[in-house]
Amino acid sequence: MQSQCSGAWRADVLKRMVQLGAALAVFAPVTSGMAYDENAKVNATLFAMDAVKRKLRDPSSAEFRNVNTYEPEQRVLVVCGLVNAKNGFGGYAGYEAFVWFPLGADLKPDVRNGTALVGAKEIGDIGSLCRNAK
């Protein structure tokens, strides 16, 4: 799979996600006492899958499984799952984890595109959000 963002950018996003965890509450409907409804979760899943596909060498070959949405600490909707796609040799590379969150490269809300991290190298420590999901 090819990467569309530099290592420095990924490291900066991961660091800011940890540092700005409390600030993310601003973007969630929980601040008004509302939880995300099923429609919002379905839309987030579709946006996440689309963002992940854009990062793949062969987007049309993407196969998803174990895709789930959740709200870590009821702050922001995050989508996690596994994706398998064809590599440069035309064979499937094997399932890799992905995490998607509704923030753009500037760390401002961007629900339609968001940020997709695919594979262990990109996900790094942020993958613990998915492992800790209930």
Averaged over successive runs of 10 residues, the pLDDT of the chain (134 residues) comes to 49 50 38 64 91 94 93 77 94 93 76 82 74 52
Using a cut of 0.85, tell me whether the model's pTM lies above it: no
pLDDT score for 120: 81
Domain boundaries, the chain: 7-131
pLDDT score for 59: 95
Ramachandran class of 26: left when φ > 0, alpha when ψ lies in -120 to 50, beta otherwise: alpha
The residue type found at 131 is: R
Closest C-alpha to 1, from 80, 124, 94, 101: 94
- Whole-angstrom distance, CA of residue 80 vs CA of residue 72: 12
pLDDT score for 81: 93
